[in-house]
Amino acid sequence: MEIGPFIGIMGIQTLEEGRRLAQFGSVFSKHRYRLLLGTYADWWTLHGAADRAFLPSCDVLSSMSCQENGVAHAVHFTPSWQRDLAEQLGGLMAVCPNLSVLILHAVWPKRDVLVQFRRQWPAVSLVLWVSEECFLDLADKTTRVAHRIGEYSKIGVVDSVILDLAAGRGARIDDARAVFVLQLLRQAGVELPCGVAGGLSYELFDAGLQKLMHTFDPLSLAASHHLRTGNQIDPIRVNQFLRRALVATEPLSVQT
Paired residues of 39 in beta bridges = 75
Distance of CA 161 to the CA centre of its chain: 8
Distance of CA 101 to the CA centre of its chain: 9
The model's pTM: 0.93
Higher-pLDDT residue of 79 and 191 is: 79
pLDDT at 122: 94
Q: What's the mean pLDDT when you consider all of the chain?
A: 88
Question: Which long-range contacts link 29-33 to residues 24+ away (Cβ below 8 Å)?
Answer: 31/246, 31/249, 32/4, 32/5, 32/218, 32/249, 33/4, 33/5, 33/6, 33/7, 33/218, 33/220, 33/245, 33/246, 33/249
Span 18-27, average pLDDT: 90
Span 14-37, average pLDDT: 90
Helix (H) / strand (E) element for 182: namely: helix 175-187
The backbone torsions φ and ψ at residue 187, rounded to the nearest 5 degrees and listed phi first, read -65, -30
The amino acid that residue 73 corresponds to is H
- Burial letters for 226-248: b for 16+ Cβ neighbours within 10 Å, e otherwise? bbbeeeebeeebbbbbbebbeeb
CB atoms within 10 A of CB 54: 16
pLDDT at 68: 64
The predicted-structure confidence for 39-96, as pLDDT tens digits, reads as follows: 999 999 998 887 787 888 888 888 887 766 678 899 999 999 999 999 999 999 999 9
The backbone torsions φ and ψ at residue 121, rounded to the nearest 5 degrees and listed phi first, read -130, 70
Helix (H) / strand (E) element for 150: namely: helix 142-154
pLDDT at 202: 81
The predicted-structure confidence for 127-162, as pLDDT tens digits, reads as follows: 999 998 998 888 878 889 999 999 999 999 999 999
pLDDT at 121: 96
pLDDT at 255: 52
Cα-only R_g, the chain: 17
- pLDDT value at 16 more than 60: yes
- pLDDT value at 168 more than 70: no
What counts of helices (H) and strands (E) characterise the chain?
10, 10
- pLDDT value at 111 more than 60: yes
Spell out the domains of the chain, with CATH numbers in brackets: 6-255 (3.20.20.70)
Going by pLDDT thresholds of 50, 70 and 90, the confidence category of residue 104 is: very high
CB atoms within 10 A of CB 12: 28
- pLDDT value at 115 more than 90: yes
